[in-house]
Structure 1
């Protein structure tokens, strides 16, 4: 999240708020132009439809206002914007050890607070640039040496799912350069997943075991989907209680 505080306005941008863009846009429209404190109460308690997710973003904006010396009671929610962001895919645990996947829509939300009577030249900061279009990737078959690196990665286990990263579809490709350094292109269930460092440490252990230097490149587009799991991975997940893919 990036926050900008100026003498006449507070701009808060929060990424991957767990709300679909149409719902976020509708909620912002309902409170646009209202005093910030009553707008927060309306988002949280009504009357009418509520939206706790945006109320929390407004909470942060009001805290920033106080830290910047602005009185929350004189601030107006002068502008707001929601842009569809990447879905968050995560594990849903059920009763009796059963589990499946759940996908949550998210939005990048921008809220602008200004004092009553302040008219700005722009009603809203420029929207974030659209995600870069992924470049065509090298899809050539892996060499024997690269396949040996992939084989070693079967011992890297996702700590949440209990299945190796190869069968989960997290290893996108492996390339060895002329010096024998492996570039391992990986992904996870979401760019918001906190396990990137944990995974790199595990990969490092396995690469040390086969005496191979490496670097990990994280690739988030296209996003990972349960369909990326191998047949063996599906069998392993079923064995530990997953009911859907």
Structure 2
């Protein structure tokens, strides 16, 4: 029976959904076991506790179900899980040039839809399947070897790439996560920014290209959004530079 249930489940997962674990869990408890379409409507419009981020996840799940020929009224929200994830950090500008960081809590969430006739007892609790952002960070750190001399040279060159919004170089900001050079001499640069919604990715790519063109270095720029960038990723020099331009908290 377990293998059969897994075969017919429609499962959607979302990392760093903008909702606290407590809010997500409370909302899920109200709708678990309900027909999927009805659960989505209650999460979006009420009565009771609503949660639009979860409603949008059900939109995705029901779209997948339709592709499989399953109607929403034939499915039940059979399980839902939420675990805390890393906060998303934004810059908050204040008066007189002062600025600090503002954090938005997030959760890793999983929803499971199942045909009515196969729906088991609804489950709500910690998610086991999605890897937390903290665990993902730990894995990547263990896999990385020390930079070679050539890779260190590329990283040094990136000190000349300045974040146009903050006025601090991308290395001290902690935006450069990894530099690797393959046997053909092509550098793969893994970078992040304060948020995946940051509009500066194209600007950064142009600036990296301009800096590395001086040494003739070919490169591929890879954007990595998980784990999220945190103010703790800033170097000591970067913190001093930010304090000099009015940032008041780290």
Same fold, judged at TM 0.5 (above): yes
Q: Any conservation in 2 of the 1:99–1:243 contact (CA below 8 Å)? A: yes
What's the counterpart of residue 210 of structure 2?
205
What's the counterpart of residue 127 of structure 1?
129
Q: Any conservation in 2 of the 1:43–1:50 contact (CA below 8 Å)? A: yes
Measured at CA, do residues 150 and 73 of structure 1 come closer, stay the same or move farther in structure 2, by a change above 3 Å? Answer: closer
Q: Which segment drifts farther, 221-230 or 106-115?
A: 221-230
Measured at CA, do residues 147 and 63 of structure 1 come closer, stay the same or move farther in structure 2, by a change above 3 Å? Answer: closer
Task: Report the RMSD for the aligned CA atoms in angstroms.
Answer: 4.2
Q: Any conservation in 2 of the 1:44–1:55 contact (CA below 8 Å)? A: yes
What's the counterpart of residue 90 of structure 1?
90
Q: Any conservation in 2 of the 1:87–1:190 contact (CA below 8 Å)? A: no
Greater helix proportion: 2
TM-score, length-scaled by structure 2? 0.69
Q: Aligned-pair distance for 1:79?
A: 1.8
Superposed CA deviations along residues 32-86 of structure 1, whole A, max 9, x for unmatched, are 1012233223323433332222122123333444455433234321222224434
Unmatched 5+ stretches in structure 2: 1-5
Q: Any conservation in 1 of the 2:86–2:106 contact (CA below 8 Å)? A: yes
Unmatched 5+ stretches in structure 1: 1-5
Measured at CA, do residues 160 and 74 of structure 1 come closer, stay the same or move farther in structure 2, by a change above 3 Å? Answer: farther
- Mapping of residues 161-240 of structure 1, within 5 Å: 161-172=166-177, 184=189, 186-189=191-194, 199-214=204-219, 224-238=229-243, 240=245
What's the counterpart of residue 81 of structure 1?
81
- Secondary structure class of the residue paired with 1:50: coil
TM-score, length-scaled by structure 1? 0.70
